[in-house]
Amino acid sequence: MEPERARIRWDEEGIKEHDAQRGQKTKITEPKTPYNYYGEEDEDQPAELDEGHLQEELEKERKKQEFLERRRAHYDEFQRVRQMRTSPEDEEEEDPNP
């Protein structure tokens, strides 16, 4: 005969007593999220970009493109080395008769 497995038994009376003692829940009020609200006149006007800001944006874009090119070249080099290691041309270059 198999022993009866332990089961969870809830103390219903204790839970009711606890709920009665707890009372009302207090609502937590949080401050509003800080946000800059712009008026309608600001939405109609395009943002003014000065020459320095444009130059900075162009420089960032140039650096990004340069990085992408270097990364692409790096991974291409890895593939080339991998192909060289596994290519059958290496076997043909060796002289079978020393």
- Mean pLDDT, all residues of the chain: 77
Question: Does residue 48 form part of some domain?
Answer: no
- Angle at the Cα of 32 from the Cα atoms of 28 and 37, rounded to 5 degrees: 170
Residue 67, in any domain of the structure = yes
Q: Is the pLDDT of residue 54 over 80?
A: yes
Amino acid at 40: E
**Quick check: is 72 in a domain?**
yes
Q: Where are the alpha helices (DSSP H) in 1-98?
A: 12-22, 40-44, 51-86, 89-93
**66: in domain:** yes
Q: How many domains does the chain have?
A: 1
**Enclosing domain of residue 70:** 54-85
DSSP-derived letter for residue 67 is H
Supply the Cα-derived Rg of the chain in whole angstroms: 36
pLDDT tens digit string along 24-44?
Answer: 777 778 877 777 766 655 555
